[in-house]
Amino acid sequence: MSPSLSLSFWLFLLEASGSRCELILPGSCSSLALWCLMMSVTPTRGCLLDLPWEDILVPHILCHLPLQQLLSLQRVSKSFQSLIQLYLANMRCFDSSQIGPAIPRAAFVNLLKDNEVLQQLALQNCSDWLTDQELLPVIGQNHHLHQIQLKGCAQLSRHALVAISLSCPNLRQLSLAHCEWVDSLSLRSLADHCKALEAVDLTACRQLKDEAICYLVQKCGRLKSLSLAVNANVGDVAVEETAKCCPELEHLDLTGCLRVKNDSIRVLAEYCPKLRSLKVKHCHNVAESSLSILRSRGVELDVEPPLQRALVLLQDVVGFAPFINLQI
């Protein structure tokens, strides 16, 4: 590779002295940076792999490289393969989107087979094939998980949620959006065992009714964010119980909850002083008479005031916004 390339050899600087090793990566790490890392093995400077793996290479160097490039690095040699396996076994965060639009089933199983220290797990890119068979072993051996993202993983079953509740007592954030397999029994298990939950996304979990939501919020009073969107079975009972049990609530999504009415919104305004955002679009029984209380407090709403909505509709019809003196 020619030294005249302007982007070439300053993508990273590796400084090793005694017990200190630092990797500086300005900007995004490209394949060229990976090439530089591998080419840092020279007779005069010593071998990169001679540095302490667990003390320097894993925590201070490999953590700066994209997961996809680390997987490519495994093919350089058996030593590099062993190094990457050590890194994967000590990885705290796994996000399948870092590998690409889709990750093969076998690759997923191989990547996490030795890991017992995961804290964050995001698997939305595995929705086409992820089943209990692949997920349950990972959940069963990782008891420190505090954030799990399973959005759209439609091929799992209620057993996955039960396994999460039994294995992850410190869970704080859980996304089950568009997981229609979530039922009231599995949600009860979650509520009984994961009382530190702060954010739960139950968007389009259509099996859930008011009773299941009430049980969840009664057990998990620390909730700050909750989504019950796109669920026609959720109504005022669930919203009112959420308001009374979760005084720390900051974000609530009720989009498309057709049974929610004004009364529960007023209860929400009364019991949730920390509420910052509320989504009620397509909640046709929620009117400005209840929303105005929250609007006056500065709560972010996803529906505009009636007059502003009328102006927008008028502009769409006539092609311009008429001047109206709003102070009259």
Domain ranges of the chain: 51-90, 92-315
The per-residue pLDDT for 314 is 54
User: Each residue of 135-145: b (16+ CB within 10 Å) or e?
Assistant: bbebbeebeeb
How far is it, in rounded angstroms, from Cα 70 to Cα 132?
27
Q: What is the DSSP letter of 76?
A: S
Helix segments in 18-145, DSSP class H: 31-38, 67-73, 78-89, 105-112, 132-140
Q: How many CB atoms lie within 10 A of CB 313?
A: 10
How far is it, in rounded angstroms, from Cα 180 to Cα 23?
44
The per-residue pLDDT for 89 is 92
Contact by Cβ (8 Å): 243, 216: no
CB neighbours of 43 closer than 8 A, spacing ≥ 6? none
DSSP-based three-state secondary structure for 133: helix
The 3 state secondary structure assigned to 142-188 is: CCCCCEEECCCCCCCCHHHHHHHHHHCCCCCEEECCCCCCCCHHHHH
Dihedral pair phi/psi, residue 80, rounded to 5°: -65, -35
The per-residue pLDDT for 176 is 98
* Cα distances (Å, whole numbers) of residue 62 to 38, 84, 215, 264, 270: 12, 8, 43, 51, 50
Per-position pLDDT tens, the chain of length 328:
333 333 223 333 333 333 333 343 434 444 434 444 554 444 445 577 777 777 777 777 787 778 888 888 877 888 888 888 898 999 999 999 888 777 888 889 989 999 999 999 999 888 889 999 999 999 999 999 999 999 999 999 999 999 999 999 999 999 999 999 999 999 999 999 999 999 999 999 999 999 999 999 999 999 999 999 999 999 999 999 999 999 999 999 999 999 999 999 999 999 999 999 999 999 999 999 999 999 999 999 999 887 655 444 555 555 655 544 443 3
Contact by Cβ (8 Å): 117, 92: yes
Among 124, 59, 56, 65, smallest CA distance to 89 is for 59
Distance, first Cα to last Cα, the chain: 73
Distance of CA 320 to the CA centre of its chain: 41
How far is it, in rounded angstroms, from Cα 269 to Cα 281?
17
The per-residue pLDDT for 308 is 53
Q: How many CB atoms lie within 10 A of CB 289?
A: 10
Q: What is the DSSP letter of 54?
A: I
Among 257, 264, 169, smallest CA distance to 219 is for 169
Dihedral (CA of 244, 245, 246, 251) sign: negative
The per-residue pLDDT for 45 is 53
Query: What top-level class would CATH report for the domain 92-315?
Result: alpha beta
Among 112, 114, 69, smallest CA distance to 93 is for 112
Q: What is the DSSP letter of 71?
A: H
